[in-house]
Structure 1
């Protein structure tokens, strides 16, 4: 028996030694190692070195445990060069690269180093802080190695994956793991929002923007964040799905400088067990609509407050982040099939995916010298303004786009909504500017800031 096992082991080792190097296509082949897969994929994963100029405030109270918080705005500012290190993935032979916004966002100088040590400069074509993605173009006419994008909706929990990047600046590194979860939202640390693929493949600082690939060498996601208490990898990492990356690339090639996603014009909440029971659903899931804008395409399709959205294009949604992700992947100009409990019946309706309407007109204006608060930039609120400044969906009136020097010193902020001036309602820009021009000696302003409403009083 022992002799038979030894003979089989020798034959196995001999076959390994004589076999041609190829991508593993079965569980048995995967057990032999990932070397062929790594050899194929790593040329398309790059290191990115970015420089940006930031304003740093110099304060004599810096480092003081008590006074530094009291005097945060005290002191002068000076420009400082800030360096960042991350990774990126080449997605096409003409040098289109995807990385994270937090790696290259606002950078003034970007240097890309390939696996074979060639170096190139690159320009940012499109970036979006909310989704933590950026698309770059290499400044080179050479043909580049690249990774193909896989349909990330077909990714399954338990799949073997490799994470490739440049952790801690030590050089290109490969780590292995599995897909630990899908449809993760609101769990990653940092600025990134939305919908993630979770993996236990170790991801550390510097891996950001690197590749998460499957056993065929296809890109399923861009490594972006980790869930950690220590700052190091605890085996819970997150990647932005490839389907969203594909939409970013498409918009970048179309000439967009900012990412545009469809506007639902609706707000709602996840359906928990209590809500499901009250609606007669057999299980929790979906989003119950609580409010709709008058211009919402969902309203135009016949959806009303109290209806429940269960799926977008056949994919289930359980919260707002998933719904926004599904709409973003579909893209503006497409028609989404929205399934749910609509008008008391399970049905599917078609919804035109549109950009937030920039109407009625903003009528942007800057207050003049005779105004009580000169130099303030104001606009009428419409759906596009609501999205731009993150205002509550049903906001109306006038928004402060820029408070100006005097307005800022008086306590006004970007995104404040002006409701009234000296007791008079201000439904539009013309009413605000007229009231500010007429103000004498004293001034009061009703302001909405987020969910709070306050009255600000000034002596002129």
Structure 2
């Protein structure tokens, strides 16, 4: 009997140790999806001064932006295991979302009080609160097509702490990049280093993003192609780095990471490649990202039109 009790206690201790090291299963709805409108509602009711869509739109400069002062992290050179890459990158990955009161009239003729949100991804590059995301994410807040979420654009950290965007530091439609500012109120934020050397085809890549409400999902793959394309909206060519790691709607603005933990690109878009004889058949999905060199150029040189 004594032997049985000792053996049982040993197994119980081992089970406790094992389970204490296991990763927890997050609740995407409770921890993030439902929390985003809740935090936005608090900000809206607080009376705190922040940029509404109408006021933020005025900070979009049609002639471009000059260089911006950013305290960038040094490039990392030590190869990391995927799990360590995830832990490090997740802490510096944020949710970027336009939010606001619905404002539409209900069937009863009263104003709808529901808070709408459209979460995308971003990442921190300066511990004082400088965030990178896509141009189309920031522009999605200010465009007149957005009629239901124009009160505050929020940035939510992994732990749920939420800040309003206070400024657009730079925006580049040609390369689908936007650099935003928040006030972390003295908190030093985890930031990601940006690679100063281009990734090559075949290099491994990793992404932490929020595809379709699966917040802080991890994906890996490799660089599959590098090419130039005509960005017809901006009427100029841009460089694209295609990858095989998965991402989807909600991943926009996420960081593409190398095996050392450096940013080598930013998620931009996906394109479905269909069979030429039968458009209903999908053959491949092209996953396009903006190389880090374009981000560094935007930071250091700006994009003022001459």
Indicate the TM-score class for this superposition, using the shorter chain for normalisation.
0.5 to 0.7
Q: 1:82 to 1:119 in 2, by over 3 A?
A: closer
Q: Indicate which of 247, 266, 269 corresponds to 1:225.
A: 269
Q: Does 1:179 align with 2:223?
A: yes
- The alignment covers a number of residue pairs equal to 203
* Aligned twin of 1:87: 121
* Aligned twin of 1:114: 157
Query: Equivalents in 2 of 1:165, 1:40: separation in Å?
Result: 13
* Aligned twin of 1:49: 97
Unmatched runs of 5 consecutive residues or more in structure 2 = 1-17, 19-75, 105-114, 143-149, 275-281
Q: Indicate which of 214, 234, 237 corresponds to 1:170.
A: 214
Query: Equivalents in 1 of 2:116, 2:159: separation in Å?
Result: 26
8 A contact 2:228–2:237 mirrored in 1 = no
Q: 1:233 to 1:88 in 2, by over 3 A?
A: farther
- Name the SS of the counterpart of 1:236 in structure 2: strand
- Name the SS of the counterpart of 2:290 in structure 1: strand
User: What are the superposed Cα offsets for residues 64-102 of structure 1, whole Å, 9 maximum, x if unpaired?
Assistant: xxxxxxxxxxxxxxxxx9753210010011111110011
- Name the SS of the counterpart of 2:194 in structure 1: coil
Q: 1:152 to 1:187 in 2, by over 3 A?
A: farther
8 A contact 1:189–1:225 mirrored in 2 = no
* Equivalence map 1:100-249=2 (5 Å): 100-105=134-139, 106-107=141-142, 108=150, 109-123=152-166, 124-140=168-184, 141-153=186-198, 155-186=199-230, 194-228=238-272, 234-249=284-299
Query: Equivalents in 1 of 2:227, 2:164: separation in Å?
Result: 35
Which of these two proteins has the greater Rg computed from alpha carbons? 1
Query: Equivalents in 2 of 1:151, 1:95: separation in Å?
Result: 21
- Name the SS of the counterpart of 1:150 in structure 2: coil
Q: Does 1:34 align with 2:82?
A: yes
* Aligned twin of 2:11: none
* Equivalence map 1:24-423=2 (5 Å): 34-51=82-99, 83-105=117-139, 106-107=141-142, 108=150, 109-123=152-166, 124-140=168-184, 141-153=186-198, 155-186=199-230, 194-228=238-272, 234-250=284-300, 259-260=303-304, 355=306
User: What are the superposed Cα offsets for residues 233-288 of structure 1, whole Å, 9 maximum, x if unpaired?
Assistant: 94521111111112223357xxxxxx325xxxxxxxxxxxxxxxxxxxxxxxxxxx
8 A contact 2:96–2:122 mirrored in 1 = yes
Shift of 1:183: 2.8
Query: Equivalents in 1 of 2:84, 2:289: separation in Å?
Result: 23
TM-score (norm 2): 0.58
User: What are the superposed Cα offsets for residues 271-327 of structure 1, whole Å, 9 maximum, x if unpaired?
Assistant: xxxxxxxxxxxxxxxxxxxxxxxxxxxxxxxxxxxxxxxxxxxxxxxxxxxxxxxxx
8 A contact 1:112–1:122 mirrored in 2 = yes
Shift of 1:188: 11
- Name the SS of the counterpart of 2:119 in structure 1: strand
Q: 1:151 to 1:188 in 2, by over 3 A?
A: farther
8 A contact 1:44–1:146 mirrored in 2 = yes
* Equivalence map 1:5-20=2 (5 Å): none
Unmatched runs of 5 consecutive residues or more in structure 1 = 1-16, 18-22, 57-80, 253-258, 262-354, 356-460
Query: Equivalents in 1 of 2:91, 2:100: separation in Å?
Result: 27
Q: Return the structure number with greater relative CO, CA threshold 8 A, min gap 6.
A: 2
* Aligned twin of 1:346: none
RMSD, aligned CA: 3.6
